[in-house]
């Protein structure tokens, strides 16, 4: 299996980064090919701009979506975007390793999707969405670290049901382009927990990864 890990944490010694390292080791030890896009280490630009394209279909008025489609049809994406797109095409499994910030992704990771999930390449609104999406047959999963406790992310908790919070990512982003979305792995309050608890999270994560083939997609 070809595994692409999207990693979005600026501190290599963080627990989020430790979970990334665990996944890399696990997949490679089990005979899989692994590529890591470490977005902070790459200094990845999250902002979609005119310089994303080698040339433009309309130099008078900038429409990012129209330029994405034109670039897809005419091979006009700049090299850093083409490289990430090739990784995505290559991958059978996309693992997204990130902290949960403001009920979503850090900007650098959101920007990766804005720029790489380009119109024409990753989706087409009138014909390639959801079960007919471009990336149908590929799997994806979130590995998250969250600042609050698990009980805070329930219907009766202060933050609400975590699966409802993640719906815009699971459904509106990942399933939208045809990916089979597996249930997330979440480490709660990782920045506050004891070493013993963090070691339990690591063991639980290894078991979770070992059981991937038995996990049923959310949608």
- Residues 6+ away with beta carbon under 8 Å from 141: 93, 94, 95, 96, 181, 182, 183, 184, 185, 212, 215
CB 110 within 8 A of CB 117: no
Instruction: Give the lowest-confidence range in 41-50, 73-82, 143-152, 202-211.
Output: 143-152
Segment 160-163 long-range contacts (CB within 8 Å, at least 24 positions apart) = 162/186, 163/218
pLDDT given for residue 129 in this prediction? 93
Going by the DSSP 8-state scheme, the letter that residue 205 receives in this structure is: H
pLDDT at 207 over 80: yes
**% residues pLDDT > 70 (the chain):** 99
Q: Helix or strand or coil: residue 199?
A: helix
Residue 44 CB neighbour total at 10 angstroms: 19
pLDDT given for residue 152 in this prediction? 80
Instruction: Give the lowest-confidence range in 7-11, 75-79, 132-136, 154-158.
Output: 154-158
pLDDT at 141 over 80: yes
pLDDT at 170 over 80: yes
pLDDT at 191 over 80: no
Q: What are the start-end ranges of the E strands in 8-131? A: 33-38, 93-99
What is the pTM assigned to this prediction? 0.95
pLDDT at 190 over 80: no
- Residues 6+ away with beta carbon under 8 Å from 159: 103, 148, 152, 153, 165
Domains and CATH numbers, the chain: 2-213 (3.40.50.360)
């Amino acid at each position: 299996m070809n595994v692409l890990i999207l990693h979005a944490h600026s501190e290599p010694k963080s627990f989020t980064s430790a979970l990334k390292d665990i996944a890399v080791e696990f997949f490679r030890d089990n005979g899989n090919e692994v590529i890591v896009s470490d977005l902070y280490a790459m200094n990845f630009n999250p902002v979609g701009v005119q310089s994303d394209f080698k040339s433009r279909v309309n130099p008078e008025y900038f429409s990012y979506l129209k330029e994405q489609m034109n670039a897809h049809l005419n091979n006009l994406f700049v090299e850093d975007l083409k490289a990430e797109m090739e990784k995505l095409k290559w991958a059978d499994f996309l693992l997204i390793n990130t902290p949960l910030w403001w009920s979503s992704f850090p900007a650098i990771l959101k920007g990766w999707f804005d720029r790489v999930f380009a119109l024409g390449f990753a989706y087409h609104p009138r014909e390639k969405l959801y079960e007919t999406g471009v990336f149908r047959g590929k799997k994806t999963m979130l590995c998250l670290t969250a600042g609050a406790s698990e009980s805070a992310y329930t219907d009766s908790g202060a933050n609400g049901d975590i699966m409802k919070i993640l719906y815009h990512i699971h459904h509106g982003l990942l399933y939208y382009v045809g990916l089979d979305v597996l249930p997330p792995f979440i480490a709660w309050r990782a920045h506050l927990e004891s070493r013993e608890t963090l070691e339990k999270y690591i063991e639980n994560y290894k078991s979770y990864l070992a059981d991937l083939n038995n996990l049923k997609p959310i949608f």
